[in-house]
Amino acid sequence: MTIKDTPEEWEVRASETPFVGRKTSVRADDVLMPDGSVARRDYQVHPGSVAVVALDDRGRVLVIRQYRHPVRHKLWEIPAGLLDVPGENPLHAAQRELYEEAHVKAEDWRVLTDIFTSPGGCDEAVRVYLARDLSEAEGGRFEVEDEEAEMELARVPLQELVRGVLAGDLHNTCLVVGVLSLVAAQQGDGLDALRPAGAPWPARPFEA
């Protein structure tokens, strides 16, 4: 048996969008079940996201601390952002987010992992990149607003982040998945064996 997720789409008998927000919406689909019944499934429609595990030459990961209102927490996270433009190349979006949130650029980019953050209630897909060979970005810093205006920035040893994840002190999905995937890659075939930055992403197809 091959352990691999496979695309499949059950018949939708009816669909409506009861809420449309600035970036996301809520959709209600009446889905035909295998036994012939019809069940309503409500879920958030999301444009998709990218996130970046930026690893420096001292084995530290660049993290930011930001207030997240839905969970009423300040969370330590890795740089991340929405795919604002349909069909946007996710690598370009990741490079933009690393610059805007940390004023950092990277010379080496790899795909660390691809995830669905909450597939039972949201169609968000996230591509998590590994960025290495870091340096300070040129030019002025990006002007931030709202929650981002209060962001803190730090570089934390990878193993310290792993301990925080396993202790239940760190909760952000992309950070948790990113740092644990990085350790798995290091202990497996090595970081140079990761997929190239331009690897296909069926969940959010893009132009090279």
How many angstroms from the chain centroid is the CA of residue 111? Answer: 11
**pLDDT surpasses 80 at 147:** no
Mean of per-residue pLDDT scores for the chain: 94
* pLDDT score, position 195: 98
To the question of pTM greater than 0.95 for the whole model, the response is: no
Tell me the CATH class for 49-196. Answer: alpha beta
Q: Can you give the pLDDT at residue 150? A: 79
State percent of the chain over pLDDT 90: 89
- pLDDT range class, residue 207, cuts 50, 70, 90: confident
22 or 87, greater pLDDT: 22
> What is the residue extent of each domain of the chain?
12-45, 49-196
Residue 1 has pLDDT above 90, yes or no: no
154-160: average pLDDT: 98
187 contact partners, CB below 8 Å, separation of at least 6: none
**By mean pLDDT, which of 31-35, 105-109, 158-162, 204-208 is the weakest?**
204-208
From the candidates 9, 97, 148, 152, give the one annotated as an active-site residue: 148
Is 148 catalytic? The answer is: yes
Exposure on the CB side of residue 9, measured as CA atoms within 13 A = 4
Up-side HSE of residue 132: CA atoms within 13 Å toward CB? 14
Position 146 confidence tier, pLDDT thresholds 50, 70, 90: low
